[in-house]
A and B are shown apart, each in its own frame.
Chain A
């Protein structure tokens, strides 16, 4: 399974070449993030002159590959300052990756430049790591040492893998409540977390952080206005990322993130938001996308160029699971009507077709299954979700059937509600083929304390026989994947407007690869 001779070689090489690694990695980073990004500022400030801890927004890792993972931090001694309390100069940030929490066995190290144009965010693509391994990482700026993060590389892509554990999370409106869910999520021993959108909300946050009602929060008045410009979006990330539970969530495991609408503005579609002129909205979108990239553990391929960013992408976890991460916001169009855009749909279908993985997970934002919200004919539907784009959904389902794609598992966010859906080739015919399953995860905090069920959810269960479960509590979903079966555990919290909520498993489902369809556990 593992390549012993190569491991030995790496292990032997480390003690002798650590200094050389430092130089080489440092140079590689400069090439990746320095030279090609225009900056007239060649002055580099002395990091020793930092007057207070710059690691106020924590550390993060993400987008794991078999031999690489992105490490993120941002220098921001003052979180509500437009420059993060940093001088308008480049800063040197050193980083280390070790196999142990105490950094006795450092296997990779280097230095990166934190640029003021990127608000001193640091994105290190730490390469040359071993597949499927746990690592610890940290940063240093001047005399300040960051918190230690834990991460994990993906297994070697062609290796036979017997099992994997991952989680999904989404929708964390800051003023709606505390991120207690992450306190529990970090105890789950997951290999990776898929974050499915609505990381920030553009909604105003008052001085006490809304329903957190934290009188010590002292949230500045600028958060009373919805963000439009880059400085405003950056401040929203500063506020959100200052949350200790969210920081703990990032520090505990690698995340693979995608966005939905609220990272820009509610229910936007491509270049359209209400009556805002497209030219102006695209500038707002460019500002929002830039702030997103600056604050997430993403590679350079995801760096936006103005209003355009390549966020849809794919990850392999051995031969067990392939994850196709979608962007169902940026390419929406009214005529021809599409939620994915032509290029992304082709990319998705081609990827599914070529996949050799046992499970094909699609990390998706808005609900893919039909969801009738009334018992009327025609039924009420949420046209912001795939229900507003039935042609694209049919194309995807037909593609899955035609290309004989197996192990289709869609994971979704958006609705602040847990759902478990059989994906029917024809939702009007329960006897039609089940092409896969969809697990919709509830919100981390959006929607406040939540509820187990409601008359509306009861009605929807009745109106949608392909939906096996609907629940309005807060939380996240964990998945145990093996070669023949995927199991979902819906982990829920009874409240979020107060701290300290416990977690419990509300329900569990399994679906078999050979015969897709939800079965209660």
Chain B
């Protein structure tokens, strides 16, 4: 009729025991180390930080795509694995991708973490300090900033303050598509953009400017080289759109493309935001791939 339910089922008892034993294992095996006080076991060597560019410093130019990563190294000099926190700081003129690195560090392991550093368009050229610290260990490096000149050919993509895309495939950054390198043979060397999800459409690639620009021509270089011809690997269908009153307006459309370079011209418009809405590729792996996107007044 009734059962004595105070008794645990065998499985539950095992689970409880497992919890206790795992907890006992976790504590000593994996400590927490950080730059701000929580801890290492006594006499255990801590986390050591360094910056790869410490002596020469890091050279960057202004703008989102003029930035470069400073390489922060976190070394666990101890004999136990730790979860470490390092704090990062730089002169206020600079933009750091983040102000903290937290990572698991096995004993003896060095994590090398690239931290993108940018100086907004208009930043005064000069040398600015960067600092990283974890516990008692600190390291510094100089960030040397030069001004990015406008493109002599009038490519407005160079003066965009913000470049973004629907998604990004590792190794194919958005800046690769606005770096002045339109040679498809350089594909795979970070000089082009590839979206992050195959088969999922539409994708988009967007440029934003701090002030309105007059745009009337867009040149899109899709992937087209000996190994990866556009007819199989390039973009097939897309719309060129500008943002007006919060709405995307199509100013040009391309359908059924099989070429590597496509020029689209349209009635010039004033806009602070332009994107290519990518609707379909030519099949192979079904990704969006842009080697270079150029935007001109006419």
Measuring CB to CB, which residues of chain A are less than 8 angstroms from any residue of chain B? Answer: 3-6, 32, 35-41, 65-66, 82-83, 88, 116-117, 131, 156-158, 175-176, 203-204, 206-207, 210-211, 215, 221-222, 224-226, 228-232, 234, 279, 282-283, 286-287, 290, 299-301, 303, 305-307, 310, 314, 316, 447-448
Q: Which of B141-177 contact A (CB under 8 A)?
A: 164-168, 170, 174
Measuring CB to CB, which residues of chain B are less than 8 angstroms from any residue of chain A? Answer: 2-6, 9, 11-12, 15, 18-19, 22-32, 34, 36-41, 81, 83, 85, 97-106, 109, 111, 113, 116, 164-168, 170, 174, 196-197, 200, 206, 246
Complex alpha-carbon distance, A88 and B100, angstroms? 13
Say whether, besides A283-B109, A314-B11, A38 and B27 are in contact (CB < 8 Å): yes
Residues of B within 8 A of A82 (CB): 98-100, 102
Residues A221 and B38 in contact, CB atoms below 8 Å apart:
no
Residues A41 and B38 in contact, CB atoms below 8 Å apart:
yes
Say whether, besides A65-B12, A283-B109, A306 and B36 are in contact (CB < 8 Å): no
Q: Is the interface of B mostly helix, strand, loop or mixed?
A: mixed
Residues A204 and B246 in contact, CB atoms below 8 Å apart:
no
Residues B111 and A229 in contact, CB atoms below 8 Å apart:
yes
How far apart are B19's CB and chain A's nearest CB, in angstroms?
5
Complex alpha-carbon distance, A169 and B119, angstroms? 43
Say whether, besides A88-B36, A207-B164, A300-B19, A226 and B170 are in contact (CB < 8 Å): yes
Say whether, besides A229-B102, A286-B104, A314-B11, A41 and B37 are in contact (CB < 8 Å): yes
Complex alpha-carbon distance, A116 and B103, angstroms? 14
Residues B40 and A40 in contact, CB atoms below 8 Å apart:
yes
A sample of 10 more A-B contacts (CB under 8 A), given A40-B39, A210-B166, A283-B105, is A32-B23, A38-B31, A66-B12, A116-B38, A157-B11, A226-B170, A283-B104, A290-B104, A300-B23, A301-B22
How far apart are A36's CB and chain B's nearest CB, in angstroms?
4
Complex alpha-carbon distance, A299 and B15, angstroms? 10
Residues A231 and B101 in contact, CB atoms below 8 Å apart:
yes
Residues A83 and B166 in contact, CB atoms below 8 Å apart:
no
Residues A36 and B170 in contact, CB atoms below 8 Å apart:
no
Q: Give 22 CB contacts A-B under 8 Å.
A: A36-B23, A36-B26, A37-B27, A38-B28, A39-B38, A82-B98, A82-B99, A82-B102, A117-B83, A203-B168, A203-B197, A204-B196, A210-B166, A211-B166, A215-B246, A231-B102, A287-B102, A287-B103, A301-B15, A303-B22, A306-B30, A447-B200
Complex alpha-carbon distance, A301 and B81, angstroms? 19
Residues A222 and B30 in contact, CB atoms below 8 Å apart:
no
Residues of B within 8 A of A229 (CB): 101-103, 111, 113
Complex alpha-carbon distance, A282 and B197, angstroms? 24
B97, closest chain A residue (CB): A222
Residues A299 and B19 in contact, CB atoms below 8 Å apart:
yes
Complex alpha-carbon distance, A286 and B105, angstroms? 9
Residues A230 and B37 in contact, CB atoms below 8 Å apart:
no
Residues of B within 8 A of A207 (CB): 164
How far apart are B273's CB and chain A's nearest CB, in angstroms?
11
Residues B81 and A234 in contact, CB atoms below 8 Å apart:
no
Complex alpha-carbon distance, A158 and B167, angstroms? 49
Residues of B within 8 A of A316 (CB): 9, 11
Residues of B within 8 A of A211 (CB): 166
Contact of A88 among B37, B106, B206, B246 (CB under 8 A): B37
Residues of B within 8 A of A300 (CB): 19, 22-23
Say whether, besides A32-B23, A215-B246, A290-B83, A206 and B103 are in contact (CB < 8 Å): no
Residues of B within 8 A of A234 (CB): 102
Complex alpha-carbon distance, A4 and B4, angstroms? 11
How far apart are B296's CB and chain A's nearest CB, in angstroms?
25
Complex alpha-carbon distance, A300 and B18, angstroms? 9
Complex alpha-carbon distance, A116 and B97, angstroms? 22
Say whether, besides A38-B28, A116-B38, A283-B104, A221 and B170 are in contact (CB < 8 Å): no
Contact of A41 among B6, B39, B102, B197 (CB under 8 A): B39
Contact of B167 among A175, A215, A279 (CB under 8 A): A175
Complex alpha-carbon distance, A37 and B26, angstroms? 7
How far apart are B207's CB and chain A's nearest CB, in angstroms?
13
